[in-house]
Every structure is written in C-alpha cells, then in structure tokens.
C-alpha cells in the first residue's frame, strides 16, 4: 500500500483524502496512448454532445470499452453502442486497460477492472463545468484519469457544490486516481489556455477509465 507521507515517491501528491495525482505516470506511454486514441476515433469519431438542458458541450468526446458515456436531451448514461453508428464502441486497447489498472493499484485500489474509457478532447477555450461522476453503478471502483497534451487547471471540490475547491494543474502524462471517500466529489476543468504541445499540438486529451457496471 502506498504511504502518502513517505518521501519515497515525491511524484505522488494527495489532493484530498481519496484522490491522488501520479505525476508523469503515463508520460512514457504517451505515443502509444495517442495512437490508441486515433484508432478509437477512426471507428467512433469525436463529437460534441448535448446536455439534458440543451447546451452543446465545448469538449468533444468518444469512448471505448464495453460501455460508453453519452449525454443528450434524454439525460446522462452509459450505453453499449455508439449512438452515431449504432455499432458497439471500439474495444479498449489492452495498453489502456493495463495502464489504468497499474495507476489504480499504485493509489491503493487493487483489481480495478474498467469497462469504459471516456476520451475527452479539449481545444483552447474548452472547459468542463463542476460536476459529480455518479452515473456508474460500481461505486467501489475508483476513476482513473490520464491527461495528455496541453495543461489544464483541474478544480477538486467536496460532496456539495459549495465546498471549497482545490486547484491542481494537470500536465502531460499526469494521472489522477479518485475513489473511496472522494468518489462523488465535485470537480471541473477550467478553460484550456492556448498553446502548443510538442507531441499533441494545440489540444488536451483526457482519458477517464470507469467501471460503469457492477462487479460480479
């Protein structure tokens, strides 16, 4: 089990109890991850979805794995098929799965078995409003979030919308693991600033691995 108070892993930072950043954890695999994103998007393209309230999201999304997260006028939910094609979402690349499992284990969540990976693509100016991730049935599983490309300021709150926010700058290769008592905390992403990342260009990608269905 990881000891967050030791000096042995200075690249591990606690944000709030239940949430940690593993700095640069995915950096060496960035090229593989980007190739995987491209392969997924060739089957299920990025699209800007509509919120139940009728607003088009600034972030473009796609998914891979057995389930994909979607939103439309009917609400937020997981679905086994891409609504654009009615085909199943592309399979999760094995290296995606393995990376998320290793990150979860590093943060103290053994045996993470994600059935969904939501891929978010941000252009400069895109943002994500404060929200809770509460569409998953398996609340024992953490969420693992991988950031690639341009940096972004992530805001971590508490269990109510008005709880104080902890700002954390997420950079290329950083991984956030989020679970336990922090599993339902509010969080959001501030507008991405213009810039150019040597590998990714003028974009930020975020992969969030989730267990949407109950473990057996």
Residues that bind ligand MD6 (CB under 6 A): 120, 128, 133, 143, 145, 154, 176, 178, 187, 189, 206, 208
Partner from Fe ion, ligand MD6, none binding residue 109, C-beta < 5-8 Å depending on class = none
Partner from ligand MD6, Fe ion, none binding residue 145, C-beta < 5-8 Å depending on class = ligand MD6
Name which of residues 78 to 117 contact Fe ion (CB under 5 A): none
Partner from Fe ion, ligand MD6, none binding residue 176, C-beta < 5-8 Å depending on class = ligand MD6
Tokens 């060739």 -> residue = 42
CA distance 177 to 31: 21
CB of 186 to Fe ion, least distance (A): 9
CB of 58 to ligand MD6, least distance (A): 11
CA distance 178 to 208: 10
Measured from the CB atom, the residue of 87 and 194 that comes closer to ligand MD6 is 194
Stretch near Fe ion under the rule CB under 5 A, chosen from 18-26, 66-74, 91-99, 133-141? 133-141
Using an 8 Å Cβ cutoff, are 9 and 175 in contact? no
CA distance 120 to 192: 13
Tokens 């943060």 -> residue = 107
Using an 8 Å Cβ cutoff, are 142 and 210 in contact? no
3-class SS of residue 34: helix
Partner from ligand MD6, Fe ion, none binding residue 116, C-beta < 5-8 Å depending on class = none
The answer to whether the Cα torsion of 54, 204, 18, 62 is positive or negative is positive
State which of residues 115, 133, 136, 174 lies at the interface with Fe ion (CB under 5 A).
133
Residues near Fe ion (CB under 5 A) are 133
């Amino acid at each position: 089990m990881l000891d967050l108070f030791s000096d042995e892993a200075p690249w591990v930072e606690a944000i709030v109890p239940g949430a940690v950043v593993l700095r640069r954890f995915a950096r060496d695999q960035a090229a593989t991850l980007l190739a995987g994103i491209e392969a997924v998007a060739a089957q299920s393209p990025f699209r800007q979805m509509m919120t139940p309230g009728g607003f088009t999201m600034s972030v473009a999304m796609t998914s891979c794995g057995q389930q994909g997260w979607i939103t439309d006028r009917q609400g937020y939910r997981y679905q086994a098929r891409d609504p654009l094609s009615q085909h199943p979402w592309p399979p999760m690349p094995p290296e995606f799965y393995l990376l998320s499992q290793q990150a979860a284990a590093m943060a103290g969540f053994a045996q993470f078995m994600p059935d969904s990976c939501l891929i978010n693509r941000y252009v400069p100016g895109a943002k994500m409003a404060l929200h809770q991730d509460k569409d998953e049935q398996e609340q024992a599983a953490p969420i693992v979030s991988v950031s690639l490309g341009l940096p972004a300021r992530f805001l971590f709150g508490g269990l109510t919308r008005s709880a104080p926010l902890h700002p954390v700058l997420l950079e290329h290769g950083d991984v956030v693991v989020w679970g336990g008592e922090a599993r339902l905390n509010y969080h959001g992403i501030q507008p991405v600033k213009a810039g150019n990342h040597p590998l990714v260009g003028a974009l930020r990608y975020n992969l969030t691995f989730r267990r949407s269905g109950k473990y057996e």
